[in-house]
């Protein structure tokens, strides 16, 4: 009887140990990992995810498979990641839209952006840029600001969607610069750019990669860029910080996160593997080809970044009284 009790007790101990976070992470990963991109294939988010996933196997010991789950401004894909098992085999790519701007505007998203995820690493960031049609009266920032300041609501601007980073960042710009423009929301960068390049709309705030081709062709005039420093592609274009609008100097970014409660051992393994992948010359070069900047910060730094982005865009939504569609 005593022997049976001891055997049962030992078995219970081993069962408990097998379900601890350390035990779950032991030998991780044992199978391919899914990486959910919450947008359609082809955009910068998808490109960055695929170049990292396609080169991570030597550092992780397993392949990483990208799966696109577009819809709801990224909410569908983000929700899948929030509800995933806490075993590290289903991760997601997060952006400013999924973690900050959309939750700030759409209060009914089925996840809490600050508590329902485990930040792992911010892979890369993309500058945002204000550009104008060549017919616009000004071709540089001071003239641009003077023109829209003295003509409130005369001019309209195109964004890539209601509640998107390009919408809320322009709202932040108008709030701080004391200007007023009319917002025209489009379903993505493509149709927004078409109308601005075609002259139907005079101004656009967009991620740099999609605008850069038109800028180089002289079909858009760059005015001011959100980036840490002036860009080598556009050395004559000042940053928002340079023109005295540092709070607007915010980029789009592409990070990796998992569901909340992801064991720290798994987080560390994933962070190490992704960081080593980002340090590869071919990976860095491919990301920089999209006019993006490699980041590769720590989980703690990324968590702080997520909170900072949510806080500032939540404040913008409240102050500008932006309502859900």
Q: Give the C-alpha separation, 24 to 89, whole Å.
A: 11
pLDDT tens column, 135-159: 999 999 999 999 999 999 999 999 9
221 closest CA partner among 295, 143, 288: 143
| 318 CB-near residues (< 8 Å, 6+ apart) | none
Q: pTM of the full predicted structure?
A: 0.85
Q: DSSP alpha helices (H): ranges in 72-230?
A: 75-82, 96, 102-105, 141-150, 165-177, 189-197, 208-216
Domains of the chain, first to last: 30-125+251-319 (3.40.190.150), 128-248 (3.40.190.10)
Mean pLDDT of the chain: 91
User: Looking at residues 185-211, what average pLDDT do you find?
Assistant: 92
Whether 16 shows a pLDDT value over 50: the answer reads no
């Amino acid at each position: 009887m005593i022997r049976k009790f001891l055997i049962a007790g030992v078995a219970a101990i081993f069962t408990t140990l097998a379900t601890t976070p350390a035990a779950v992470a032991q030998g991780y990963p044992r199978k391919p990992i899914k990486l959910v991109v919450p947008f359609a294939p082809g955009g910068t988010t998808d490109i960055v995810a695929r170049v990292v996933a396609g080169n991570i196997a030597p550092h992780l010991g397993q392949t990483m498979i990208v799966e696109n789950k577009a819809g709801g401004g990224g909410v569908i894909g983000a929700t899948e990641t929030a509800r995933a098992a806490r075993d590290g085999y289903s991760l997601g790519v997060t952006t400013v839209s999924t973690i900050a701007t959309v939750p700030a505007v759409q209060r009914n998203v089925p996840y809490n952006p600050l508590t329902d995820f485990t930040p792992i690493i911010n892979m890369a960031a993309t500058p945002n840029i204000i550009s104008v049609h060549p017919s616009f009266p000004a071709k540089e920032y001071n003239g641009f600001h003077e023109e829209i300041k003295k003509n409130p609501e005369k001019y309209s601007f195109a964004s890539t969607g209601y509640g998107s980073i390009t919408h809320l960042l322009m709202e932040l710009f108008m709030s701080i610069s004391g200007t007023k423009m009319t917002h025209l929301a489009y379903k993505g960068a493509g149709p927004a750019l078409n109308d601005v390049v075609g002259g139907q709309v005079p101004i656009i705030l967009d991620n740099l990669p999609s605008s850069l081709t038109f800028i180089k062709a002289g079909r858009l005039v760059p005015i001011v860029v959100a980036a840490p420093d002036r860009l080598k592609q556009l050395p004559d274009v000042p940053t928002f910080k340079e023109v005295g609008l540092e709070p607007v100097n915010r980029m789009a970014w592409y990070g990796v996160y998992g569901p909340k409660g992801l064991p720290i051992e798994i987080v560390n393994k994933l962070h190490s593997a992704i960081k080593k992948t980002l340090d590869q010359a071919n990976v860095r070069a491919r990301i920089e080809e999209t006019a993006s900047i490699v980041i590769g910060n720590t989980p703690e730094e990324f968590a702080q970044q997520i909170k900072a982005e949510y806080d500032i865009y939540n404040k913008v939504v409240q102050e500008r009284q932006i309502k859900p569609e």
